[in-house]
A and B are shown apart, each in its own frame.
Chain A
Amino acid sequence: MIEFGAGMDAAMLDQARVLADSLAMEPLPGVVDVVPAFGTVTVFYDLLKLRDYNELRTALEQRVSRLSGNVRSEGREVVIPVCYAAEYAPDLRRVAMHTGLEPAEVAALHCRAEYRVAAVGFTPGFPYLAGLPEGLHTPRLAKPRTAVPAGSVGLGGAQTGIYPLASPGGWNLIGRTPMTLFNAAAVRAALLRVGDRVRFRSISQEEFATWK
C-alpha cells in the first residue's frame, strides 16, 4: 500500500488517482489489481507472474517518485439526479434536526456542493464522496438498517454516498436517485470511479418516475 497521507483533501486524491491511472496505462509485471482509496493506492500482485518481489517494490517506488508534487487529475464530471421527497428520505428530518436546517435547506445545500469520488467500495460501485459541506455533517445511525433500497443517497459523518445495490447500511438516507450506479452486465459496470467529480440535481417525484 502506498499512502499519500491521511484525510480527504483534493491533492491526495489527485495523487492516488494519477498513480492508479499510471499503473493502469503502463502496468508493472505481476500486478493484478490497483485500488485507489482516499489518499492510498493498494497494489495486488500475483507471485507466479512476478520475477522478483523486491524488483516490484523498487519499480513502484520509482513510479511514485516520478509523480511531481503538483499532480492534478480532472476526472469526469457526473451530475446525479436525486429526489429528496419524504418517501425516499426517511432520515431527512433527523438530519434537519441535527443540523438546525429545514429539510428543503438540507437538500439545497447538498446540491450546491461539488464532490470528489474518494473511494469505491463497501458494495460494488458504492462511491464515497468527499466535499460534504460542514453544515451537513451528521453522525451515522446508531443502529444500521438491515435493508437500504438501491439508489438511496446517504450522509455518513463527513461523507455522502449512494447505495448502488440494496444492502444493509448505517448512513442517513436523504433522497434517492433513479440512476443505475452499478450494472454487472455492462462493459463499464460502475458509473463512478475514484477522482470523478459529482454534483447532485434535485428532481421531482414526477421526474423520478419518468426514469424508470
Chain B
Amino acid sequence: MEIKVVHGGMLSMIQDLGRPGLRAMGVPVGGAMDGFAMRVANLLVGNAEDAAGLEMTMVGAELEFLEDAFVAVTGAAGGELEPWRPHRLRAGTRLRWGRLDAGCRLYLAVAGGFDVPVTLGGRGTYLRGGWGGGQGRALRAGDVITVARPANTLSVENWRLDPRIMPAYAASPTLRVVQGAQGGEFDREWWRGEYAVLRQSDRMGIRLQGAPLVRAVSGDLISSAVAPGAVQVPPDGQPIVLAADAQTIGGYPLVAHVISADLPLLAQLRPGDQVRFIEVTLTEAHRLTLAREHALAILRQGLAQKHR
C-alpha cells in the first residue's frame, strides 16, 4: 500500500519509538516526541507499538491514500479525522491537516506501519544525522511512503479510547519533576515561576523563558550523560528541557528531570504556552509510570480480543 505526500506540512517525518542502547556512541534516543500518542495510534490500528508512523508538527501534511487503509490519529488536535479512534479510509481519500488546533505534534498510524529500512536499530528520522525515515529528512511533496501489509485486521471502527488513560494535555500544564543532580544548588524560588515556551524549541530541546534560575554555586561541571526530560540551566538562567533528539552528554547544571509520565505533555507544548513545575519523589514518578503502563496494557488486551 502506498501513500502519496501532496504537501509535507511544516515538519512531518517518520518516527517510531527510537533507538535505545546506543547512547555510548553518542546516538540520541530519538523517536516520537510524544511516545504515548505514537503507541496508542499504533495499537488502535493493530500494529506493534513501535511500528513506524508519521509525526506532524504545528502545520500538518496533506496525504493521498492510494489504496484502502485503516488509520488512527492521536496527539495534537487538528484535521477532519476524529482523533484517538480508528478509521477505515477508501482508496483515493485525501486528508489535509493544515494548521493544528491544539498541541504541537500529531501522530498518524496506518495498519501495517510505514515500511522504511532500519538504521541503527530504528526506523525513525534523525534530522541532524540525516538518517532513518527512509531518506533521512522530513517529508516533501511528491514523496511516496510504502505501508507494510498488516499482520491482522481489527474490526473496531466504533471503538473509543477511555479518556481516563490520557495524559493531561494542556497549553499551560504543570510538569512533574524529580530533583536533578544540581537541584539543591538553585534558589527554591524557581518553583513558583511560570515559564513561556520559546519559538526556538525543537526536537532537541524545549527552550523556556521566565525569571532566571539562580545557582548558588559557581564553577563548571564535568560533562556526563543527559536524557530527554532533563531540565538544564545554561549560564543565562533560562531553562532548557531536553527532548528526544537532544545530545547524549551535557555539562550544564541539571535542576530537575521531567518524569517519564509527563514527557507527552512536554512534546505537545507550542511556542507561547506556559509551564509550571512541581516536584515529586522518585517513588511517585515510578508509580505514575507504572500506572500509565498498566492502562496501556489494558488497552492492548482489550484490542487484542478484537483481532480477526
Partner of B224, one of A42, A47, A189: A42
Q: Are A119 and B223 in contact (CB-based, < 8 A)?
A: yes
Q: Are B129 and A47 in contact (CB-based, < 8 A)?
A: no
CA distance A128 to B224 in the complex (A): 12
CA distance A184 to B247 in the complex (A): 16
Q: Are B120 and A121 in contact (CB-based, < 8 A)?
A: no
A residues near B21, Cβ cutoff 8 Å = 32-33
Partner of B24, one of A39, A53, A122, A194: A194
Q: Are B26 and A120 in contact (CB-based, < 8 A)?
A: yes
* Interface residue tally for chain A (C-beta within 8 Å): 37
Partner of A121, one of B222, B248, B282, B290: B248
Partner of A37, one of B22, B131, B224, B286: B224
* Interface residue tally for chain B (C-beta within 8 Å): 30
Map CB proximity to A onto B227-239 as digits: 1 under 8 Å, 0 otherwise.
1000000000000
Nearest-CB residue, chain A, relative to B219: A6
Q: Are B181 and A35 in contact (CB-based, < 8 A)?
A: no
Q: Are A47 and B286 in contact (CB-based, < 8 A)?
A: yes
Map CB proximity to A onto B241-269 as digits: 1 under 8 Å, 0 otherwise.
00000011100000000001000000000
Return B153 CB to nearest CB of chain A, in Å.
28
CA distance A43 to B286 in the complex (A): 16
Return B98 CB to nearest CB of chain A, in Å.
31
Partner of B25, one of A38, A39, A124, A165: A124
Map CB proximity to A onto B129-146 as digits: 1 under 8 Å, 0 otherwise.
111000000000000000
A10: interface (CB < 8 Å) = no
CA distance A47 to B20 in the complex (A): 14
Map CB proximity to B onto A168-212 as digits: 1 under 8 Å, 0 otherwise.
000000000000001011000110011000000000000000000
A69: interface (CB < 8 Å) = no
Known A39-B222, A47-B289; judge A121-B128 contact (CB<8 A). Answer: no
CA distance A121 to B227 in the complex (A): 12
Q: Are B181 and A1 in contact (CB-based, < 8 A)?
A: yes
A125: interface (CB < 8 Å) = yes
A40: interface (CB < 8 Å) = yes
Partner of B293, one of A40, A48, A120, A193: A48
Map CB proximity to B onto A19-36 as digits: 1 under 8 Å, 0 otherwise.
010000000000011111
Partner of B223, one of A38, A123, A182, A189: A38
CA distance A124 to B30 in the complex (A): 12
Return A35 CB to nearest CB of chain B, in Å.
4
A residues near B171, Cβ cutoff 8 Å = none
CA distance A129 to B271 in the complex (A): 38
Most chain B beta-carbon contacts within 10 A, residue among A3, A32, A37, A128: A37
Map CB proximity to A onto B9-25 as digits: 1 under 8 Å, 0 otherwise.
00000000000111111
CA distance A128 to B222 in the complex (A): 12
CA distance A182 to B25 in the complex (A): 9
B89: interface (CB < 8 Å) = no
B residues near A36, Cβ cutoff 8 Å = 24
Q: Are A32 and B247 in contact (CB-based, < 8 A)?
A: no
Known A33-B21, A184-B119, A184-B120; judge A126-B222 contact (CB<8 A). Answer: no
B residues near A193, Cβ cutoff 8 Å = 24-25
Partner of A1, one of B22, B120, B224, B248: B224
Could you jot down 21 A-B contacts, CB within 8 Å?
Answer: A3-B222, A33-B20, A33-B23, A35-B23, A35-B248, A40-B222, A40-B224, A42-B224, A44-B20, A47-B290, A53-B282, A120-B24, A121-B249, A122-B26, A124-B25, A124-B26, A165-B128, A184-B120, A189-B25, A189-B27, A189-B120
Instruction: Name A's B-contacting residues (CB within 8 A).
Output: 1, 3, 6-7, 20, 32-40, 42, 44, 47-48, 53, 119-126, 128, 165, 167, 182, 184-185, 189-190, 193-194
Instruction: Name B's A-contacting residues (CB within 8 A).
Output: 20-28, 119-120, 128-131, 181, 222-225, 227, 247-249, 260, 282, 286, 289-290, 293
Q: Which 7 A/B pairs are nearest by Cβ-Cβ distance? A: A42-B225, A121-B249, A35-B225, A190-B25, A40-B224, A184-B131, A121-B26
Given known contacts A33-B21, A193-B24, A194-B24, what 4 new A-B pairs fall within 8 Å (CB)?
A: A6-B222, A44-B20, A120-B24, A167-B128
